A and B are shown apart, each in its own frame.
Chain A
Amino acid sequence: MSGGDIAAIFQGAIVTMALSLTGILIGLPIGLGLALIRWANVPFLAAVVTVYVSMLRATPLVTLLLLLFFALPNIGVPIDPVSAAILGLVMNTSAFNCEVWRSALMNFPRDQYEAAQSVGMRAGQRFRRIVLPQIVLVSLPGLVNEMSLLIKVTPVLAVVGVVDITRAAVRIGAETYEPLPPFLVAVALYVPIVFALVSLQRWIERRQQAAEAVA
């Protein structure tokens, strides 16, 4: 494996990082929106979201990606590998985020909400000033956990032709007839990123436990 090959894997790493970040940033608010629809029990929509979340949580990302990449052009929506990758990641992660947000919303103390109502806050204000700041804190470990899970499934994006870490590694393996070294380099790139997120999650959990112990 030459220096150029390692550079190619690093280039793939940039693509992987960019796609992961895009997926996370779009998936977070969509997950919150879905959770709010279920929380507020919006007629019909809440049922649709329930089915969507249950189904997406059960669907492997490979299967979802292949479905999007091959079926969308079939019904007249042209899609390139990168868009299919982002769409797949967002659909997948938003379903998991929805559950994290929703459990925070379900455990939100009712009395605080009613207190805000009684001092005449409007629904939007109540949500922005009272609910959101607190559920963000509660959801944080779960959301970070979901981010690390999302990064761990990104090698699948190579299946639809995105030139990420994994596809670069596969290509080099095929050219040099030595598939193992490029995959080990790929793993060496993934491990610190995922480890950082897992450590971040543990750190947040410990801090929150310490804060609770003081209170």
Chain B
Amino acid sequence: MIHDFGIVWSERALLLSGFANTAILSALAAVAALLLGFGLAPALMSKQPAVAWIARFFVDGMRCVPFLLFAYIVYYGFPTFGVRLDNWTTGLAALTIYNAAYMAEILRGAWVAQPREPIEAGIAFGFSEIRLFRRIILPPLLLSAGPVIGNQMIQIIKDSAFLTIIALPELTHAASSIQSRHYVPFAAFITAVFLYWGLCLVIEAGVGSVGRVADARR
């Protein structure tokens, strides 16, 4: 058994590049999905029925489709529409579009729960729309939605493992290739599990400190 872990250690470069891919891919997807979510959330709450309906259809649709099937559809569907991307970009696009729907729903929920008074006070003080959003709406919104956004980031990391099916060289893919090359399944995959766990613990710690900031401000 120790010997098996020795083999995994000797392949650490491969494993680390997989780990880096998982981390970078998840971080980029999280940021992009959050930004898209900020665009989608107002659409969900739009007073124009057509806009609200289209946004709702997209968000609820994504929430009912398994990510793995969505990744397959993006992977095979993009070329049909003449869009040719490499696996890495395709994976990033799939992760981003899919999770944007979840982020939009999270932000909408937190937005609706915000007290009206500060926003109305901001309007009364003559804040422009952008300043109102940036100074009055955004800070408490991010603080209150922080923990749920953190959970979604953990979900993004776990979703990124599904991208192994389109041969994206992420962590699970790296563990798979080490296992098939040396036949050390336990050592290879348990190492991957510990790396995923570490990544999620870091996010949980980050969410914890955001929560403390939020409590201090309350």
Which A residues have a C-beta under 8 Å from some C-beta of B? 54-55, 57-64, 66-67, 70-71, 74-75, 151-156, 159, 166, 169-170, 173, 179-180, 183-184, 186-187, 190-191, 194-195, 198
Q: Which residues of B46-73 are within 8 A (CB) of A?
A: 60-61, 63-70, 72-73
What per-residue 1/0 map shows which CB atoms of B165-181 lie under 8 Å from chain A? 10000011001100100
> Could you tell me the distance between the alpha carbons of A198 and B158 in the complex, rounded to whole angstroms?
21
Q: Is A155's CB under 8 angstroms from B196's CB?
A: no
> Could you tell me the distance between the alpha carbons of A157 and B80 in the complex, rounded to whole angstroms?
27
Chain B, residue nearest A157 (CB): B68
Q: Is A62's CB under 8 angstroms from B172's CB?
A: yes
**Contact stretch, chosen from B9-17, B35-43, B186-194:** B186-194
CB < 8 Å neighbour of B65 from A59, A156, A173, A191: A191
Q: Is A58's CB under 8 angstroms from B197's CB?
A: yes
Provide the residues of chain A in CB contact with B189, threshold 8 Å.
63, 66-67, 70-71
Provide the residues of chain B in CB contact with A166, threshold 8 Å.
68-69, 72
Given contacts A71-B189, A194-B65, A198-B64, 19 further A-B contacts (CB under 8 A): A54-B201, A55-B197, A59-B197, A60-B160, A61-B161, A63-B196, A66-B176, A67-B185, A67-B193, A70-B189, A71-B186, A153-B68, A155-B66, A156-B162, A169-B72, A170-B72, A180-B80, A187-B73, A190-B66
Provide the residues of chain B in CB contact with A183, threshold 8 Å.
69, 72-73, 76
B200 contacts the other chain (CB 8 A): yes
- A66 to B: closest C-beta gap in Å: 6
CB < 8 Å neighbour of B185 from A59, A71, A190, A198: A71
B199 contacts the other chain (CB 8 A): yes
Q: Is B65's CB under 8 angstroms from A190's CB?
A: yes
> Could you tell me the distance between the alpha carbons of A156 and B157 in the complex, rounded to whole angstroms?
15
Q: Is B186's CB under 8 angstroms from A67's CB?
A: yes
> Could you tell me the distance between the alpha carbons of A156 and B68 in the complex, rounded to whole angstroms?
7
- A143 to B: closest C-beta gap in Å: 17
CB < 8 Å neighbour of A180 from B77, B158, B172, B199: B77
Top 10 A-B pairs, shortest CB-CB distance:
A70-B185, A60-B161, A58-B200, A67-B189, A71-B186, A155-B68, A194-B64, A60-B158, A71-B185, A179-B76
Provide the residues of chain B in CB contact with A62, threshold 8 Å.
161-162, 164, 172
- A26 to B: closest C-beta gap in Å: 21
CB < 8 Å neighbour of A195 from B64, B157, B172: B64
Chain B, residue nearest A51 (CB): B197
Q: Is A66's CB under 8 angstroms from B65's CB?
A: no
Chain A, residue nearest B164 (CB): A62
> Could you tell me the distance between the alpha carbons of A25 and B164 in the complex, rounded to whole angstroms?
29
Q: Would you mind naming 27 contact pairs between A and B with Cβ atoms under 8 Å apart?
A: A54-B201, A57-B154, A58-B158, A58-B196, A58-B197, A58-B199, A60-B196, A63-B175, A66-B172, A66-B176, A67-B185, A70-B179, A71-B186, A75-B186, A153-B68, A155-B68, A159-B165, A179-B76, A187-B65, A187-B69, A190-B65, A190-B69, A191-B61, A194-B63, A194-B65, A195-B64, A198-B60
Chain B, residue nearest A66 (CB): B189
Q: Is A152's CB under 8 angstroms from B66's CB?
A: yes
> Could you tell me the distance between the alpha carbons of A151 and B175 in the complex, rounded to whole angstroms?
25
> Could you tell me the distance between the alpha carbons of A78 and B101 in the complex, rounded to whole angstroms?
41
Chain B, residue nearest A68 (CB): B189
